[in-house]
Amino acid sequence: MDKLVIKGGNRLVGSIKVGGAKNSALPLLAATILAGGESSLTNVPDLKDIETFAELLRHIGCKVNYEAQKKSISVDASEIDSFDAPYELVKTMRAAILVLGPLVARFNKARVSLPGGCAIGERPVDLHIKGLELMGADVTIEHGYITVVADKLRGTRIYLDTPTVTGTENLMLAAVFAEGESTIENAALEPEVLELAEALSSMGAEISGAGTDIIKIQGVKELKPLAHNVMADRIEAGTLMVAAAMTKGDVLIEDCPFEHLDALTAKLGEAGATITEEEDGVRIKGDWPIRSVDIKTNPYPGFPTDMQAQMTAIMSIAGGLSVITETIFENRFMHVGELKRMGADIVVDGRNAIVRGVKGLSGAPLMATDLRASASLVLAGLVADGTTEISRIYHLDRGYERLEEKLAALGADIKRTKQ
């Protein structure tokens, strides 16, 4: 197993390019199931989750060629002959649930392992299931699997009790061939949902309203294969921004999806960072002392839960008191215990973390617990006094493309070693 060894104290300076968005690439890969023939995606990040999704597509009969070095993947979905997503794959990547919608849309059946709870919360998929039932599918849950059978999905009105991101995506994918019009109300507004809608439209789907809370899908008879360039990862960009701010750095982030980062850049600005849009990207300069700011996570365009752990790390060395409220997932403070081992002063009370900024953190051996928590530990390691060793970084590798190489290119003293 790999671990990261970081010697803290270096200021990050230079320019760095952001990779393709994991949370866009995964639903786009699911969309390739909808059309016979060969689909292709470019700017695909080189990540464990993409490999796992490719494995899942192969399992159902697709021919997949993932060239991680070239950041491209092609999927030929002409001969799908299996309709199930097994437990072994779903347990390592919950986004596997995204094959449910397209399989039912094209083949009227699917069997997908019910994802369990995970490190950040219970994460039910009841709204994905409710939507399919409203469209006329028969859903049974047995032996840990969701089995869906439909004669033909029918367009209908689906109101989501909460604007679930993958739920909105799954139901959009399911509705493309449904008879008549489907309406998804209280839909998620995340940029990844809009990108999926645009990609589906380029395949011939009739979708309007994506990016607003009411999405309408008019069923069509068939789609053509997808050819799409994946947008830049807003969470990777955001994580690099926090790294620059925390180390008093001066970093130009190329291919930065600035327009998707308003909530984060507002908060980093309040905390004292200077963020400017330049011709080649977005420049972020850190300034000390970092000011404490309160953070409350919310669905897009609110502050992203996927940036909460990283903000907890920066607030741990800010000059005051910060209240961080997590409203999306009930258990997303796993990083706090590890940050405290580095000397952070944080109290978790239900959905709030009360962070009293300390003068400095000290390097320590740490354990990564989930994807974004791991990123926050890396950030803390960059400013800590002495050496920080982070184990179980397979969590980090699920969603960050060799983060250590990007940080090292900016001047960080960070290395991957074998345990």
Q: Please identify every residue annotated as catalytic.
A: 118
Pick one of 335, 372, 395, 406: the residue that binds ligand EPU (CB under 6 A). 372
Work out whether 126 is an interface residue with ligand EPU (CB under 6 A).
yes
Work out whether 162 is an interface residue with ligand EPU (CB under 6 A).
yes
CA distances from 150 to 1, 108, 125, 382, 400 (A): 44, 5, 19, 52, 38
How large is the angle between the packed helices 22-31 and 165-175, nearest 10 degrees? 20
Work out whether 400 is an interface residue with ligand EPU (CB under 6 A).
no
Contact 230, 25 (CB under 8 A): yes
Q: Which two tokens stand for residue 100?
A: 């449910």
> Cα–chain-centroid distance for residue 59?
23
Q: Which two tokens stand for residue 31?
A: 């969309």
Rank residues 283 and 335 by Cβ distance to ligand EPU and give the closer one: 335
Rank residues 83 and 329 by Cβ distance to ligand EPU and give the closer one: 329
CA angle 412, 413, 416 (to 5 degrees): 110
Work out whether 306 is an interface residue with ligand EPU (CB under 6 A).
yes
Work out whether 261 is an interface residue with ligand EPU (CB under 6 A).
no
Q: Which of residues 36-75 bind ligand EPU (CB under 6 A)?
A: none
- Measure the CA–CA gap between 175 and 364, rounded to whole angstroms: 50
Half-sphere exposure of 83 (CA within 13 A, CB side): 17
Q: Which two tokens stand for residue 409?
A: 């290119």
- We find the least distance from the C-beta atom of residue 14 to ligand EPU, in angstroms, to be 26
Work out whether 26 is an interface residue with ligand EPU (CB under 6 A).
yes
- We find the least distance from the C-beta atom of residue 133 to ligand EPU, in angstroms, to be 12
Cis peptide before 257 (omega within 30 of 0): no
Judged on CB neighbours under 10 Å (0-12, 13-18, 19+), 387 is: middle
Pick one of 184, 316, 399, 406: the residue that binds ligand EPU (CB under 6 A). 399
Rank residues 76 and 192 by Cβ distance to ligand EPU and give the closer one: 192
Pick one of 60, 96, 127, 210: the residue that binds ligand EPU (CB under 6 A). 127
Work out whether 106 is an interface residue with ligand EPU (CB under 6 A).
no
Rank residues 57 and 188 by Cβ distance to ligand EPU and give the closer one: 188
- We find the least distance from the C-beta atom of residue 122 to ligand EPU, in angstroms, to be 6
Footprint of ligand EPU on this chain (CB under 6 A)?
23, 26, 95, 121, 123-128, 162, 164-167, 188, 192, 305-306, 328-329, 371-372, 399
